Amino acid sequence: MVSPAIALAFLPFIVTLLIRYRHYLMLLYRAVLVPWLRDRLTGTSREQRAFQYLLTHAIPGDPHHILQTFDHWCYHCEHLSCVGPDKGRIVERVLSEQAPLRVLELGTYCGYGTVLLAQGLPPGARLYTIEGDPQHAAVAEKVIRLAGFSEQTVELIVGPSEEVIPRLREKHGLMNANLVFMDHWKRCYLRDLQLLESHQLLAEGATILADNVLFPGAPHFLQYAKTCGKYHCKVHRARLEYFRGIPDGIAELRYTGTH
């Protein structure tokens, strides 16, 4: 049994750890423990609860208000792993500067990033978004249509990215993408980037934006992007969505097409 003296000796160390990692503990509480409990108490998923909140509070056909309502839910109700407003401004700036006509999103999730991308598209542009989880895709489909985007503007493709990417040209008519937004499983970033390369789905000069490259992180993806000679790479420092105390970042890659 630990003596009181030894326990007291460790108390300052424990307090220091709690203070230093308080933001991560809060993330664990809000993003894992609370949703897990509410899922079981309500019989619905957090994604479905978020959509019901949108139906009640958001203005249909107004993408900006849809995103604002999403943000309010994530700040004040339950955490969702969306790109969020701070990093969203980085995405909006790139869209505004480049006006891409063919955009590919990997990781639709609830449709937040899809709405963010779609509202910044120039006339005649098309967005292809891939989601591997059918339940998330069902929510995202309703969110995208609630925001006012038709299937001619936004095509939602359900299936694992490693299976969908090789079929994008033949089955979905995407010859190549001018902009790619990655916000799915971080361990898949490098694999899917190399799939896009091998299937020649990146237009010369294409931009790849990859979220959460610092937290939870995608080190192998970043190392490849910086050393393979095919990209100009920079990381925009930011904060984790809806947690200003946790550093994060978005990687911006410019494809040169060189080997």
Residue 212 annotated among the catalytic residues of the structure: yes
Q: Per the residue annotation, which of 47, 71, 212, 230 is the catalytic one?
A: 212
Residue closest to 121 by CA, chosen among 105, 106, 133, 135: 105
Tell me how far apart the terminal alpha carbons of the chain are, to the nearest angstrom.
Answer: 63
Q: Per the residue annotation, which of 183, 192, 248, 252 is the catalytic one?
A: 183
Q: Give CA separation, 23 vs 72, 82, 144, 183, 243, in Å.
A: 19, 18, 32, 22, 7
The two three-digit tokens of residue 20, written as one number: 């230093």
d(CA 29, CA 43): 19
Residue 178 annotated among the catalytic residues of the structure: no
Q: Per the residue annotation, which of 105, 211, 248, 252 is the catalytic one?
A: 211
CA dihedral 156→134→48→155, nearest 10 degrees, is 0
Encoded amino acid at 258, one letter: T
What is Dmax (Cα atoms) for the chain? 72
Residue 142 annotated among the catalytic residues of the structure: no
Q: Give CA separation, 69 vs 72, 80, 90, in Å.
A: 5, 12, 19
Q: How many CB atoms lie within 10 A of CB 166?
A: 14
Q: Per the residue annotation, which of 186, 192, 230, 252 is the catalytic one?
A: 186
Residue 183 annotated among the catalytic residues of the structure: yes
Q: What secondary structure letter does DSSP report for 186?
A: G
Residue 176 annotated among the catalytic residues of the structure: no
Q: DSSP secondary structure string, 51-104?
A: HHHHHHHS-TT-HHHHHHHHHHHHHHT------HHHHHHHHHHHHHHH--SEEE
Q: Per the residue annotation, which of 47, 105, 141, 241 is the catalytic one?
A: 241
DSSP E strands in the chain: the ranges are 102-106, 126-131, 154-158, 177-182, 202-210, 231-240, 243-255
Q: Catalytic residues, which ones?
A: 183, 186, 211-212, 241
